[in-house]
């Protein structure tokens, strides 16, 4: 979507008490799983030609989806909308075995762009179900990731949507329960849900590691630090992005006087800035940096030209592309670097080796 004409000059330079500044959260924006998924669609288009079909939004960002549509990607809700024999990419949020089977029945050539951290949760669900454990899946009903994870073991999975639901959820055997979670939730709210579950079910088992992804946690920690000193926080990202919406919640919880989400800088309202000295800025894990830079340009035009970066973590994780798109035997990602060194997780190495 092009910048709205004159958008940079929409915001007025209004007087405030104290110097105007921007606190820019880091880390922010694209995570390794999002980058992998977007590159997968681009590579598929380069390799196979347009159209390439994508089930659901490849990542939850309207700008990314629109840009890929311009290149020839066609987004569909279900595989039965895709012509038989076509290439289809499964989104970063993952799919259930039922979707995989439906695609195979139509003869679709599938490219699985599921984030490896989501794949890890899927494997945990399968393993726990094989032990006849009831899985209490913490997440948002209707979210693609939750549907995919639950679809791995539907008869063993019960959704817990909030801390309040933890107080009423019914289990078959309180000694045979384990929790998993959607990867993009609020860290604090998820841990509160687990606390309440454990208060009712003391023998509740934990997954081998926290399911909330590193990028979600890092962005929440960064915005906590920013929010302490911010009169206003602007979060760039789309409304259907769970991790983006949690950043708004966390900013308010940790001290920001106001916090708003925007897809584009043109959505910033003048009244948000009235009387504001310090603006915090961050973006969700599926947001390209160019959208953040446009926000900073508009804020600079309104007098917020001083930008101070607030960094709370370094990120150097990268994931290999889906196997159908790899160009060398090592499986190293080969077209776009996220910065830093390539570091594959131990469980991902084991999977690549067929263990």
In the predicted model, is pLDDT for residue 168 greater than 50?
yes
More confident residue, 349 or 136: 136
In the predicted model, is pLDDT for residue 318 greater than 50?
yes
Q: According to the model, what pLDDT value does residue 13 have?
A: 85
Q: Is 181 annotated as a binding residue?
A: no
307 in helix, strand or coil? strand
In the predicted model, is pLDDT for residue 355 greater than 60?
no
Q: According to the model, what pLDDT value does residue 349 have?
A: 32
Residues of the chain with pLDDT > 70: what percent? 89
How large is the average pLDDT for residues 171-194?
96
More confident residue, 228 or 336: 228
In the predicted model, is pLDDT for residue 298 greater than 90?
yes
More confident residue, 189 or 5: 189
In the predicted model, is pLDDT for residue 261 greater than 50?
yes
Do residues 125 and 136 touch, judged by C-beta distance below 8 A?
no
Active site residues: 145
Q: According to the model, what pLDDT value does residue 51 have?
A: 98
| CATH code of the domain occupying 117-200 | 3.40.1010.20
Half-sphere exposure of 306 (CA within 13 A, CB side): 6
Q: According to the model, what pLDDT value does residue 4 have?
A: 42
Q: According to the model, what pLDDT value does residue 354 have?
A: 34
Q: What is the mean pLDDT of the chain?
A: 90
The whole-angstrom separation of Cα 214 and Cα 315 is 9
User: Looking up tokens 């889906």, which residue turns up?
Assistant: 322
117-200 has the same fold as 21-30+214-311: yes
DSSP 205: B
Q: Is 312 annotated as a binding residue?
A: no
Do residues 321 and 40 touch, judged by C-beta distance below 8 A?
yes
Q: According to the model, what pLDDT value does residue 327 have?
A: 65
Stretch among 122-131, 175-184, 330-339 having the lowest mean pLDDT: 330-339
In the predicted model, is pLDDT for residue 347 greater than 70?
no
Q: Is 60 annotated as a binding residue?
A: yes
Band of residue 9 on the pLDDT scale cut at 50, 70, 90: low
Q: Which long-range contacts (CB under 8 A, 24 or more apart) does 190-197 make?
A: 190/138, 192/163, 193/138, 193/160, 193/162, 193/163, 193/165, 193/166, 194/138, 194/166, 196/163, 196/166, 196/167, 197/136, 197/160, 197/166, 197/169
Q: According to the model, what pLDDT value does residue 25 have?
A: 98
Q: Is 286 annotated as a binding residue?
A: yes
What class has domain 33-115+320-353? alpha beta
Q: C-alpha 182: how far from its chain's center?
A: 10
Residues of the chain with pLDDT > 90: what percent? 85
Alpha-carbon distances, residue 176 vs 167, 179, 201, 203 (angstroms): 17, 11, 9, 8
In the predicted model, is pLDDT for residue 2 greater than 70?
no
Q: Is 241 annotated as a binding residue?
A: yes
Across 8-17, 41-50, 206-215, the highest mean pLDDT is recorded for 41-50
Do residues 294 and 313 touch, judged by C-beta distance below 8 A?
no
Q: According to the model, what pLDDT value does residue 142 have?
A: 95
pTM of the prediction? 0.89
Q: Is 218 annotated as a binding residue?
A: no
**Tokens linked to 15:** 């007087």
pLDDT tens figures, 123-139: 999 999 999 999 999 99
Q: Is 93 annotated as a binding residue?
A: yes
How large is the average pLDDT for residues 274-299?
98
Q: According to the model, what pLDDT value does residue 137 have?
A: 98
Q: Is 115 annotated as a binding residue?
A: yes
In the predicted model, is pLDDT for residue 82 greater than 60?
yes
What class has domain 21-30+214-311? alpha beta
Residue 241: closest CA among 51, 61, 18, 34: 61
pLDDT tens figures, 241-255: 999 999 999 999 999
Domain spans in the chain, listed from the N-terminal domain onward: 21-30+214-311, 33-115+320-353, 117-200
pLDDT tens figures, 90-126: 999 999 999 999 999 999 999 999 999 999 999 999 9
Band of residue 174 on the pLDDT scale cut at 50, 70, 90: very high
Do residues 129 and 177 touch, judged by C-beta distance below 8 A?
no
More confident residue, 17 or 254: 254
Do residues 88 and 68 touch, judged by C-beta distance below 8 A?
no
**Tokens linked to 280:** 């915090």
How large is the average pLDDT for residues 246-270?
98
């Amino acid at each position: 979507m092009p910048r709205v004409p004159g958008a940079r000059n929409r915001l007025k330079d209004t007087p405030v008490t104290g110097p105007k500044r921007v606190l820019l959260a880091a880390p922010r924006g694209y995570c390794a799983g999002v980058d992998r998924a977007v590159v997968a669609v681009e590579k598929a288009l380069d390799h196979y030609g347009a159209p390439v079909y994508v089930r659901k939004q490849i990542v939850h960002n309207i700008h990314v989806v629109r840009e890929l549509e311009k290149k020839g990607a066609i987004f569909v809700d279900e595989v039965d909308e895709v012509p038989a024999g076509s290439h289809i990419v499964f989104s970063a949020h993952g799919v259930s075995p039922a979707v995989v089977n439906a695609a195979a029945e139509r003869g679709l050539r599938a490219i699985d762009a599921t984030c490896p951290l989501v794949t890890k949760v899927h494997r945990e669900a399968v393993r726990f179900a094989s032990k006849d454990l009831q899985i209490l899946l913490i997440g948002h009903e209707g979210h693609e990731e939750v549907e995919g994870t639950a679809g791995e073991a539907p008869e063993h999975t019960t959704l817990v949507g909030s801390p309040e639901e933890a107080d009423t959820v019914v289990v078959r055997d309180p000694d045979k329960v384990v929790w998993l979670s959607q990867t993009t939730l609020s860290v604090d709210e998820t841990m509160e849900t687990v606390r309440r579950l454990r208060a009712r079910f003391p023998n509740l088992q934990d997954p081998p590691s926290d399911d909330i992804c590193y990028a979600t946690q890092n962005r929440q920690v960064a915005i906590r630090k920013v929010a302490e000193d911010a009169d206003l926080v602007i979060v760039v990202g789309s409304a259907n992005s769970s991790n983006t919406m949690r950043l708004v919640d966390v900013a308010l919880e940790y001290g920001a006087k106001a916090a708003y989400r925007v897809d584009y800088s043109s959505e910033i309202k003048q009244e948000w800035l009235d009387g504001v000295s310090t603006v915090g800025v961050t973006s969700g894990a599926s947001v390209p940096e160019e959208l953040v830079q446009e926000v900073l340009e508009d804020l600079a035009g309104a007098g917020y030209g001083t930008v101070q970066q607030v960094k709370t973590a370094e990120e150097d994780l990268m994931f290999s592309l889906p196997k159908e798109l790899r160009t060398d035997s090592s499986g190293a990602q080969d077209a776009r670097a996220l910065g830093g060194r390539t570091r594959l997780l131990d469980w991902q190495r084991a999977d690549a080796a067929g263990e």
